[in-house]
Each structure stands twice: as structure tokens, then as C-alpha cells.
Homo-oligomer: A and B are copies of this chain.
Amino acid sequence: MMREGAERPLRADAARNRSSLLAAAAREFAERGPDASVADIARRAGIGKGTVFRHFPTKEDLLAAVVLDRIEDLAALAARLANADDAGAALLEFMDEAAGRQQQLDLSFLRESGEVNERLAGARERLFAAIIALVERAQAAGAVRGDISGMDVILLMCAPNHVVSFVPDAPPDLWRRYLGIIFDGLRPEGARPLPHPAP
């Protein structure tokens, strides 16, 4: 009998399957968007379709798990940068890494995650808190304008990838150009009052 809520440790093969499944799903979702087919993911992971559903009751849950990975990754990154000497550079580096890793994967999780998955909600909170801290330090250092919030950074973080996705044969780091522009928009120099309060 299992303790209430305890997660039984996976058998070795199950663990292996789960991680190649997640890796395959991450790649497929990045390449094909959320319409990637479960069959393709399973094939890419080298496992059967049924196994996918043993690990995740729903395709949406699988997507949530991939997203959770990303979020925990980013939260760790933000934590690592929390005490950097140059707070402005730290924020820029965070956004740079975030855009670089996020690749095509969008932010849908910001919308849906809360309902779907408790653990995801927790990770999201940690990430948000860490980003807010980065932003506040950068503001204190005068590197970033005072009227923006952590949420603004979160939202703008993936814009470079999205923007670039419309360029037919975009060079792989074109997104850096748009991150540059957007980050310049976050600087205090030349900042005009914003027409709408932060969400």
C-alpha cells in the first residue's frame, strides 16, 4: 500500500522511457507546434503509442510536462543569475538564454497550466518570483526602466522567437536581433510613459 500522494519510483525501464518520451516530445512540439501527433512522438521516442498514454493520460498532459521541464530549467537559470554582479547584464542574459532554449515552444502554459497541473503551477510561481527579482535588481541598478514589471519580461521573453518564425529561412540566431530591439525598449533611455498598466 502506497502512502497517500507518494509517487512510487519508476522501474528502470519506465524511467528510461519517460525521459526519452519527454525529449522526443520536446523536439516534436518545438518543430511542429502543439499539433505534433502522438504517434510521431512515440516513434521518435522509440516506444509504443500506448506507453505514451501510460505516462501521460492526455496529450495535453504531455505538453504540460514538457513545459514544466522548460519552466524548471528557466527557474534554475534565473536563480543562478540572481546575485550576478551586473544586474542589467543578468536580466539580458536571462532573456537571451530563455529565448535560445525556448525555441519554438510558446507560452501557452501561462494560460492553461494552473488548471491542469499543480506542480506546474508551483514551478511557474518560482519562475515568476525569480524573474521579478531579476527585474527589480536591474531596475535598482538603473539598467532597466522603472515602469515595467516582471510579467512584462515574461511576456516579452518569447516574442523574438515568435517574430522570427515568420521569416522563411531564418538564420538560426536571427532572434537575437529582435531581443536586442526589445531589450533596448526596456532601457530607461528614451522611455515614454506606457499607455496601459502592467497586467
Contacts and interface: CB of A to CB of B under 8 A. Distances in A.
Interface of A: 35, 106-108, 110-111, 148, 152, 155-156, 159, 162-164, 166-168, 170-171, 173-174, 176-192, 194-199
Contacts of A152: 177-178, 181
Please state the number of chain copies in the assembly: 4
Nearest to A181: B185
Nearest to A172: B196
A98 B181 CA distance: 19
A171 B187 CA distance: 25
A190 B190 contact: yes
Contacts of A177: 152, 194-198
Contacts of A110: 166-168
A175 to B, nearest CB: 8
Contact of A185 (B35, B111, B168, B182): B182
Nearest to A35: B35
Interface centre among A110, A152, A187 (most CB of B within 10 A): A187
B174 A196 contact: yes
A196 B172 CA distance: 10
B168 A155 contact: no
Interface centre among A182, A188, A198 (most CB of B within 10 A): A182
A36 to B, nearest CB: 13
Nearest to A180: B194
Nearest to A151: B167
Given A174-B199, A177-B194, A194-B181, A156 B163 contact: yes
